[in-house]
Chain A
């Protein structure tokens, strides 16, 4: 069973607030990812990291930012939340090394911005 955690699980917040979605994994994986998931749509990669101090933007443009100061921690921050940010956010990780590795997912954070 994958050990990847996300908090909070649910968040309802007003427009303009700053929020941070937490993601932690205890598997020692170098690669970590943030996806945005909307009903009936494919998962969209918004950020990824291949290791400490490495962060990249994904395919979907996002106003969020991420940091990777520790291997196990990959938080996502929205400086000023807007209703358009309402979505489900999934964090994932995968190991490096030879072979093709699946991604391990956290339970997700469902964000609602009012």
Chain B
């Protein structure tokens, strides 16, 4: 069965610094991968998704993620953090219709 592991339940960066949120997946076959963002008191919103078309995926709000099969990773990055990026981020894997979510990483952005 597929699963995802998000390394680091909390990440803190300064405004303008690089954002790196880590996600590793476990799947017997190449999966489909997603990153979602959740702002306080809201549901999850799709940031980007990998569906095997290209290994580097660009999403909304300046985020991107790179699929690395050899490392079974799908890390989320943004070159320069903004205060509005403070939120909870969830990595998810889908295979055959089921979607499995990681435990989430809370991103804090310091002024």
- Indicate if the CB atoms of A42 and B103 lie closer than 8 Å: yes
Q: Which of A13-45 contact B (CB under 8 A)?
A: 35, 40-43, 45
A contact face: mostly helix, strand, loop, or mixed: loop
CA separation between A33 and B102, bound complex, in Å?
17
Q: Which residues of A contact B46 (CB under 8 A)?
A: 102, 104
Number of A-B residue pairs having CB atoms within 8 Å of each other in the complex: 46
CA separation between A100 and B99, bound complex, in Å?
11
Of the candidates A35, A43, A107, which one forms a contact with B41 in the assembled complex, judged by CB atoms under 8 Å apart?
A: A107
Interface size, chain A (Cβ < 8 Å):
20
Of the candidates B32, B102, B104, which one forms a contact with A100 in the assembled complex, judged by CB atoms under 8 Å apart?
A: B32
- Indicate if the CB atoms of A105 and B99 lie closer than 8 Å: no
- Indicate if the CB atoms of B104 and A107 lie closer than 8 Å: no
Interface residues of B (CB under 8 A from A): 9, 32, 34, 36, 41-46, 49, 51, 90, 94, 98-104
